[in-house]
Amino acid sequence: MQTLTVALDDRSYPIHIGTGLIRRADLILSKLPQNKVAIVTNTTVAALYLAPLSEALKTGGVDTVTVVLPDGEAYKNWETLNRIFDALLTHRCERKTTLIALGGGVIGDLAGFAAAVYQRGVPFIQVPTTLLAQVDSAVGGKTAINHPLGKNMIGAFHQPQAVLADTDTLNTLPERELAAGIAEVIKYGLIRDREFFEWLEKNVTRLSAREPQALAYAIERSCQNKAGIVSLDERETGVRALLNLGHTFGHAIEAGLGFGTWLHGEAVAAGMVLAAELSQRLGLVGRDDVERITDILARAKLPVAAPDLGIERYLELMGHDKKVEGGKIRFVLLKRIGEAFVADSVPAAALADILGKRAAHV
């Protein structure tokens, strides 16, 4: 087991990465203010991992409540969030009851947001079961639900007490979900870790093949990058915005097609190609870099052509992005592979050009 730390002074917490962690109740028990937890999961994950986690906790003397939600991005909304509150109130969960998010990014966001606002804030622990959640969404305290007009527009910052990334859970992950997680792994290499990107170019097929050593290294390196950024900028007032490379386009794709049609990582992959194209259009990177980015994403079995929503629809949806300031859409762009920045303004002609050039009908 490897343990990293998200350094946030008195709110610092560990990220444990290893095998068999779902059965390691000791990693959770030390973080509980009382011996009662509510495990929030979905129907798919519950069938695989709810029993071993619940049994380990019960063996440790913990009273366990379970909340099983429907599976999918389409359920990341107020109605589903309220089902969590219904269960917490029905079972008389208190301010010292810890919520445990057992699942991927949707469950982590829902349970985290519920923890942020239930009785004005209760503790929670992340037990991510997808690659995307293990390397990205479970770390950093961002919690949210979707709105029909935009992804993750309603939420709160609420840091977990710990993150337990059990790499055994990746063995049951569908291929599309695995690829979606690899997209976020590649993102770290693009925004701040050129050496890691070059390693990924050589090893991305090993990740797709689920080679344990390659996955463990990629998860650890990604979490190191994420933890370092969050420690510097918890509330996304500066450098943390770089983690949104490809996300302005990607969130528009998700909303435009209907949440759940494309997986988050799939939309981000196509969005990163658009961001690279825009960076080239503005004279920041060369065509060779764009081709390297497109190639590695394609080899990871990810989409590299954005769906054709129409330029006006893209602009409308991106206008709801959280990075918008003063009515201007801001984009994370590349100066080179391994160095990103936030562009405060982008010429409309350049944006229209790359949206028209790279769009493909689905």
Q: Which residues are part of the catalytic machinery?
A: 120, 142, 184, 226, 236, 240, 244, 247, 251, 264
The answer to whether 250 touches 222, Cβ cutoff 8 Å, is no
Residue pointed to by tokens 């997680």: 181
The answer to whether 270 touches 249, Cβ cutoff 8 Å, is yes
Of 46, 261, 234, 267, the closest CA to residue 158 belongs to: 234
* H helix and E strand count, the chain: 14, 13
Q: Detail the DSSP E strand segments found in 43-141.
A: 63-69, 98-103, 124-128
* CA atoms within a 13 Å half-sphere pointing along the CA-CB vector of 65: 19
Q: What residue type is assigned to position 144 of the chain?
A: A
Nearest 5°: phi and psi at 40?
-105, 125
H or E element in which residue 52 lies: helix 51-59
Q: How large is the C-alpha radius of gyration of the chain? A: 20
CA distance 30 to 154: 31
* CA atoms within a 13 Å half-sphere pointing along the CA-CB vector of 352: 4
Residue pointed to by tokens 């990607």: 250
For 28, the token pair is 């959770």
